[in-house]
Amino acid sequence: MLMRAVQTYLSVRRAAGFQLKDAGLLLHSFASYSDARHRRHIDARTAIEWARCGGSVVQRARRLGHVIRFARYLQAEERHHQIPPAVFGRENWPRRPPYILSDEQIRELIQVAAQSGYRTLRRQTYSTLFALLSCTGLRVSEAIRLRFSDITPDGLLIRQTKFCKSRLVPLHITARDALERYLRQRRSYEPFDDHVFISLRRKPLLIEDVDSAFRTAVSKMGLPRGRGQRRPTPHSLRHAFAVRALLNCPDGRDRITQHILMLSTYLGHSKPALTYWYLEAVPELMRSIAERCESYLAGRAP
C-alpha cells in the first residue's frame, strides 16, 4: 500500500540530491505501521500514533515532520491523503550561539599551534590548517579531505561534500603563498599519500586529530567560555569567517541580498536561511540591525 509510495517519494527526492538516510528508515517504518492497520492512505491519527513512539518530544516531532512532507507530496495527486497537524511542535531546537573568535585570538591560535608538539611537520600542518579554515570558512571535513589535485590556479576545489555539493573556493594571494610554503615542507611525504594535510603516521588527518590539536592550543591560550558556556571548537574558525564577511556587508538592500546569497554559496550552505542565522546569533550584528531599524523609523537613511 503505502510502501510503494514511500519508495517512489524517496527516489524522486534522492534524484534531486537529498540523501534521506534517516528519513528513508522512518518512512519505511511508518508505511509498515500503516499497512499493518490496513490504511491505504495517510491517516492523521495513525501518523500521530506512530510518531508518538519516539523517545522524546523532538524525536516525535521529527518523525511526524517526515510524514507531513510525505503526505504533502502524495496529496498533490490524491486528495484522500491527510496532512497531519504538527502536534509535537518544531522538529529542531534553536541552534546554540556560536563561539566567535576575534582576529587577535585567531592569530594567537595559529602561533600556538606552530609551537606545539615535536619539531616536525605536525607544527606546520596544524598552523596551516587553522589559518586556512579561518581565511576560507571551510568545514573541517572539507579541509582534511583536500588532495593535491584540488589545489587549482583558480582556488580550492571542494568536491561532493555536505548536501552533495561541489564548489570552488578562491584563495587570497597571501593564503596561496602560505599554502605553497607548507606544501614545500610536505613534499617529502608525497609518495605515501596525496592528501594535503597528513598526520605523523603519514595518513589523512581525522576529525579527532584536529579536535585534539585545537583543544591543546586553546588550553594553552586559556580562552574563556562563550555565551551559554559554549566552548571554542575548530568549527569556530568557520563561524568567525562568516561573521567577518557579514560585518563587511555593503549598504543597500539589493547589495546586501546579493552579498548574503554569494556568502551562502561560498560557504556551501544548502539555503540562505542558514547564513541569515549568523545575523541573530552574534550580538554585534544584531546591534547593527537594531541601529539601522531605528534610523529607518526615525526617517533617516538606514
Residue 295 has pLDDT above 80, yes or no: no
- List the grid coordinates of 73: 507530496
Beta bridge partners of 204: 198
Enzyme catalytic residues: 139, 162, 235, 238, 269, 278
Beta bridge partners of 167: 158
Q: Say what the pLDDT of residue 140 is.
A: 93
Cα–Cα distance for residue pair 113/221, rounded to 1 Å: 10
> What pTM was estimated for this model as a whole?
0.66
Q: Say what the pLDDT of residue 198 is.
A: 87
Query: Domain residues of the chain, as ranges?
Result: 2-75, 103-232, 236-297
Measured from the Cβ of residue 39, the count of other Cβ atoms closer than 10 Å reads 16
Please, are residues 50 and 33 in contact by the beta-carbon 8 Å criterion?
yes
Which CATH number does the domain 103-232 belong to among 3.30.565.10, 3.20.20.60, 3.40.50.300, 1.10.443.10? Answer: 1.10.443.10
Q: Say what the pLDDT of residue 125 is.
A: 94
Beta bridge partners of 152: 155
Residue 257 has pLDDT above 80, yes or no: no
Residue 214 has pLDDT above 60, yes or no: yes
Find the angle CA(293)-CA(296)-CA(302) to the nearest 5 degrees. 85
Q: Say what the pLDDT of residue 128 is.
A: 96
Residue 66 has pLDDT above 80, yes or no: yes
Mean pLDDT of the chain: 84
For 7-34, the pLDDT digits (tens) are: 999 999 888 777 888 899 999 999 999 9
Cα–Cα distance for residue pair 220/223, rounded to 1 Å: 8
